[in-house]
């Protein structure tokens, strides 16, 4: 069985079929990008994988286990974490405190989540380790609301990896970033990929074609093509449907 095995996945919104009989096998290693025109069903696919939406039919098996229809926190418990296109942080807290909340959750110490970590050295040290890994430890004591947009994206990633996922889904990690910030995130994604499977939905084709080991092209809720960046770039159907050549 594949690392992530998706079979005949269907999601309807009323009469509209947003995910139309999608089947694919996803490998344990490497960076996979999901691309496709607006409305192709990329976000819906992510939402199905992470339990935010329940499929109408079909199945998702992760490392041999049926995770179809599990709730988001149960999916996280299986080792799949996610970042969102719109970053969601505790704005009134510091960078370190945001990561502490995630670490504390991981350690199962959530009875008094907002106050107990302040005295918990283990939680704080683990959170600092994560901030060092993603290179924003120098911002640890800054207010989350007051750091630049690129750092906020990185902080969101830092919070996502507090659950120590084997698989990390990134929803438009480059959205709204400057060129310098995009380079930082690119390096970070490559670094995280040394220990974590990465699946990205992204419109930035420089990133997608530069970083991916494999690309899946969605179109009208179905898989139009799967292949290496080179295969996708040379695929006539993809060019006609999406790349506009």
Q: Which residues bind to ligand ADP, rule: CB under 6 A?
A: 13, 16, 18, 36, 38-44
Closer Cβ to ligand ADP, 7 or 203, answer by number = 203
Helical H segments across 23-111, by residue range: 42-49, 72-77, 95-106
At its nearest, how many Å lie between ligand ADP and the CB of residue 152?
21
Closer Cβ to ligand ADP, 29 or 88, answer by number = 88
At its nearest, how many Å lie between ligand ADP and the CB of residue 57?
17
Closer Cβ to ligand ADP, 13 or 114, answer by number = 13
Closer Cβ to ligand ADP, 113 or 176, answer by number = 176
Closer Cβ to ligand ADP, 37 or 227, answer by number = 37
Helical H segments across the chain, by residue range: 42-49, 72-77, 95-106, 113-116, 121-133, 149-160, 179-192, 205-211, 229-233, 236-238
At its nearest, how many Å lie between ligand ADP and the CB of residue 53?
8
At its nearest, how many Å lie between ligand ADP and the CB of residue 41?
4
Q: What angle do CA 161, 84, 50 make, to 5 degrees?
A: 75
Nearest to 173 by CA among 193, 191, 150: 150
Sheet holding 57-62, edge to edge: 16-26, 4-13, 57-62, 65-66
At its nearest, how many Å lie between ligand ADP and the CB of residue 56?
13
């Amino acid at each position: 069985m594949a690392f992530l095995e998706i079979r005949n996945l269907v999601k309807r919104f009323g009469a509209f079929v947003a995910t139309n009989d999608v089947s694919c096998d996803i490998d344990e290693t490497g960076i996979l990008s999901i691309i496709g025109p607006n409305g192709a069903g990329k976000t819906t696919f992510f939402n199905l994988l992470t339990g935010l939406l329940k499929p109408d039919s079909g199945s998702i098996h992760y490392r041999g286990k049926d995770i179809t229809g599990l709730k988001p926190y149960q999916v996280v418990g299986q080792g799949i974490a996610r970042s969102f296109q719109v970053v969601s942080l505790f704005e009134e807290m510091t960078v370190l405190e945001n990561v502490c909340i995630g670490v504390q959750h991981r350690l199962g110490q959530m009875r008094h989540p907002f106050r107990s970590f302040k005295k918990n050295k283990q939680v704080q040290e683990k959170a600092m380790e994560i901030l060092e890994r993603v290179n924003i430890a120098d911002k640890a004591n800054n207010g989350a609301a007051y750091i630049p947009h690129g750092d906020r994206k990185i902080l969101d990633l830092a919070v996502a990896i507090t659950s120590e996922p084997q698989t990390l889904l990134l929803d438009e990690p480059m959205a709204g970033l400057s060129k310098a910030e995009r380079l930082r995130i690119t390096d970070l994604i490559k670094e995280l990929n040394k220990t974590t499977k990465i699946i990205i939905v992204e419109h930035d084709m420089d990133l997608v074609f530069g970083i991916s080991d494999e690309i899946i092209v969605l179109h009208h809720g179905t898989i139009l093509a799967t292949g290496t960046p080179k295969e996708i770039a040379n695929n006539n159907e993809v060019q006609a449907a999406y790349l506009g050549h």
